[in-house]
Amino acid sequence: MKKLIATMTCAVLAAAVLAGCGGSSSSSSSSAASQAASTPASSAASSEASSAAASSDGYNLDDIVSAIEAANPISNPLELDETALEFDMMLTMENVEEFAGVRSNDQGNSGTILVVKAAAGKAGDVSGELETYKQNQVAYYGNYAEFADGQAQIEEGRVVTSGDYVVLVFANTEGADYGEIDKAIDSALN
C-alpha cells in the first residue's frame, strides 16, 4: 500500500513538472486567460481601467508604446499586466494610475517597453523603483554568459520621466539602436 501511494505521488509530481515545462506563448496566453477567468469582475474592470489607453491630459499610453516599439521591435511580445508590475518589477501599485507595456517572451531577449502614468506627485517614486528593477535585471542577466547581449542592452536601458509619466525601455537583443529609441521617446512625450 505504501509503495502504491509513493508511486502515485511520484506520477502526480512528474505530471506537474512536465506541465510546467512548456515555454510557448500559447501557454502564457492560456495562463493569462485562466487568471482573468478566476479574477472577480470588479478586479478585472479595475485592471482594464488601470491600463486604459487615453489619459486625461491627452497622452495615449498605447500610442506611446507603439511609437517606441517602431524603433525597438519586441519579438514574441507579452503584454505587461498588473501582476508583472507588482511582483516582477516591484512597483508600488498605489503610485500607478495607468500603464501600458510589452516585453519579449523570448528567453534572453531584453526587449521591454513600459509607460506609466504615475499618481500625482509619485513619478519620482515610480522612476526610482524602475531604476532598481533595471539594476536587478542587470545583475540577473550577469549570471548567464549566454545573456551577455541582453545584459548590455539593459545596462544602457532608459528610465525617462516627463511630468507624471515614466517610461522604461530596454532595447531588444536583435540590434535596436538607443539613438532611435531616444527619438521615439522624445517624440511620443512631446
User: What whole-number distance in Å separates Cα of residue 136 and Cα of residue 116?
Assistant: 19
Please say whether the beta carbons of 114 and 80 come within 8 A.
Answer: yes
The pLDDT of residue 48 is above 60? no
- In the chain, which residue ranges form alpha helices assigned H by DSSP? 2-20, 25-38, 41-50, 61-71, 82-83, 123-141, 148-155, 178-189
Burial 95-123 (b: 16+ CB within 10 A, else e): bbbbbbbbbbbbeebbbbbbbbbbbeebb
Please say whether the beta carbons of 132 and 85 come within 8 A.
Answer: no
The pLDDT of residue 128 is above 90? yes
| Amino acid found at 59 | Y
Residue 175: pLDDT band with limits 50, 70, 90:
confident
The pLDDT of residue 132 is above 90? yes
93 vs 20, 77, 136, 139, CA distance in Å?
A: 28, 23, 19, 24
Q: The pTM is what?
A: 0.71
